[in-house]
Amino acid sequence: MSFISKNSALGALIQNNLNRLAADEQLSPDRMLNGLENGEMVLLGNPLHPNLRPVPVGQPGRVKVNANLGTSPGNNNLESELCKLKTALLSGADTVMDLSIAGNLNEIRKQIISTCPCPLGTVPIYAVAQRYIEQGEDPAGFQPEELLEEIRLQAEQGVDFMTLHCGITRANAAMAEEKNRRCMGIVSRGGSILARWMKRNNQGNPLLSHFEEILEICRAYNVTISMGDGMRPGAGADAGDAAQWDEMLVISGLISRARQAGVQCMVEGPGHVPLHLVPSQIHTAKTLTHGAPLYVLGPLTIDSSPGYDHIAGAIGAALAVQAGADFLCYLTPAEHLGLPGVEDVRQGVIASRIAAQAGETALRRPWALHREKAMNQARSALDWQGMKKAALDPAAVCERKQNLDADSPCDMCGGFCALKMTRDF
């Protein structure tokens, strides 16, 4: 029995969208179908998400960019998050995640789903934990059934993909403790709640012990599981340690089980990884997870650039794309310091798109080369309108160059324009 035939919601999505999506990706419909069948590609789309435009993620399609939104205790304002959503989409984000942890999370999520034409991801454990944290109670007090109910509720609401930290075990959580030579411990919010839960309850990860029930829910609504990287390194010095790879090994087995059950999966990657380790991290993760689409946060190549993590992250992301990463979660200039504002969202999305373009240009992907060629031709002809059109952010061209008349020199060079200097000879 084929993978797709096990998941009727996915089958319907494919039937209705395959030709258009394949054309967008510059792939043949057969090639895309093959990728979806063998799990190297997923099609994000919950049939209950109204007005959704499904998005394929994986090789050899276009690299996609995700923007994180969501309220926080320090900045709890739905209007502001909806404004960020609009900005993220205008800046070129392909998907968004609602990571809200303050306010009425259910209401916020419903509003975002109804406003958002692109796939929406969530981390269901946040909603469960928030009910405890807001009461001043220990978030590790929840019952596994509450978490399953939350996953089901969000699937029914139309959430398209969910970060579920299924690969965390008591063994790898212990490996991540600082006494075991990890520098930063656990830095994943969801991961840290589960690690706390396991200690408090002296039981294994509830997402793992209830994995079959989770698969049933996800298959029914074609929710793509994004296997959370609860043990991702939070410092470059921790990259590639035992905790990280032990979790990835668990995920490796879970991907096989999910595929047997007809459930689509992506894998979340690091994290904080120095430049020289980025390619091997991507290759190893891809190999262990049977080529499942890899969804990376950063990788952040240095830890010492708070205020500019979108740049340190773009360096790692470009290299990650070149090595095979499929999906970039943006980092904004606010990372590690606070909640991003609207302009931070724009900067974060564009930095990720720059990284994707750099990586895909290195991979000689036709859409990336096409954009580069269009820019080069326009630049060579001093065709400013053409440059604006080819730019990843056309607005930035207009902001800095008021006069877009053909053949006008830039303010930097004026009469020293090198192109004109040699053109007349």
Q: What residues between 391 and 420 interact with its own copies by CB under 8 A?
A: 391-393, 395-397, 399-401, 410-419
* Using rule CB under 8 A, residue 75 touches its own copies: yes
CB of 1 to its own copies, least distance (A): 41
**Angle, nearest 10°, between helix axes 342-362 and 366-380?**
100
User: Which residue, 38 or 80, has its beta carbon nearer to its own copies?
Assistant: 80
Position 341: which residue type?
G
**Angle, nearest 10°, between helix axes 124-133 and 189-201?**
60
* Using rule CB under 8 A, residue 172 touches its own copies: no
CB of 368 to its own copies, least distance (A): 8
CB of 66 to its own copies, least distance (A): 16
Per CB under 8 A, the list member of 227, 254, 312, 382 interacting with its own copies is 312
CB of 116 to its own copies, least distance (A): 21
Measured distance between the N- and C-terminal CA atoms of the chain, rounded to whole angstroms? 68
Which of the residues 117 through 156 are near its own copies (CB under 8 A)? 126, 129, 133, 139
Per CB under 8 A, the list member of 220, 308, 342, 367 interacting with its own copies is 308
What is the C-alpha separation between 334 and 344, in angstroms, rounded?
7
Per CB under 8 A, the list member of 31, 53, 131, 189 interacting with its own copies is 189
Which of the residues 357 through 386 are near its own copies (CB under 8 A)? 357-359, 361-363, 371-377, 379-380
Per CB under 8 A, the list member of 8, 59, 72, 256 interacting with its own copies is 72
> Which sign, positive or negative, has the C-alpha torsion 141, 155, 253, 267?
negative
Which of the residues 24 through 63 are near its own copies (CB under 8 A)? none
Scan for tokens 């859409």, then name that residue: 367
Per CB under 8 A, the list member of 1, 179, 212, 425 interacting with its own copies is 425
Piece of the chain touching its own copies by CB under 8 A; list 67-75, 84-92, 104-112, 207-215: 67-75
Position 324: which residue type?
G
Which of the residues 86 through 105 are near its own copies (CB under 8 A)? 101-102
CB of 264 to its own copies, least distance (A): 27
Which of the residues 200 through 259 are near its own copies (CB under 8 A)? 200, 234-237
Per CB under 8 A, the list member of 115, 303, 342, 367 interacting with its own copies is 303
Give the chain's largest Cα–Cα span.
80
User: Which residue, 107 or 411, has its beta carbon nearer to its own copies?
Assistant: 411
* Using rule CB under 8 A, residue 171 touches its own copies: no
User: Which residue, 84 or 371, has its beta carbon nearer to its own copies?
Assistant: 371
Per CB under 8 A, the list member of 73, 77, 156, 405 interacting with its own copies is 73
CB of 321 to its own copies, least distance (A): 9
* Using rule CB under 8 A, residue 339 touches its own copies: yes
User: Which residue, 2 or 135, has its beta carbon nearer to its own copies?
Assistant: 135
Per CB under 8 A, the list member of 186, 292, 296, 382 interacting with its own copies is 186
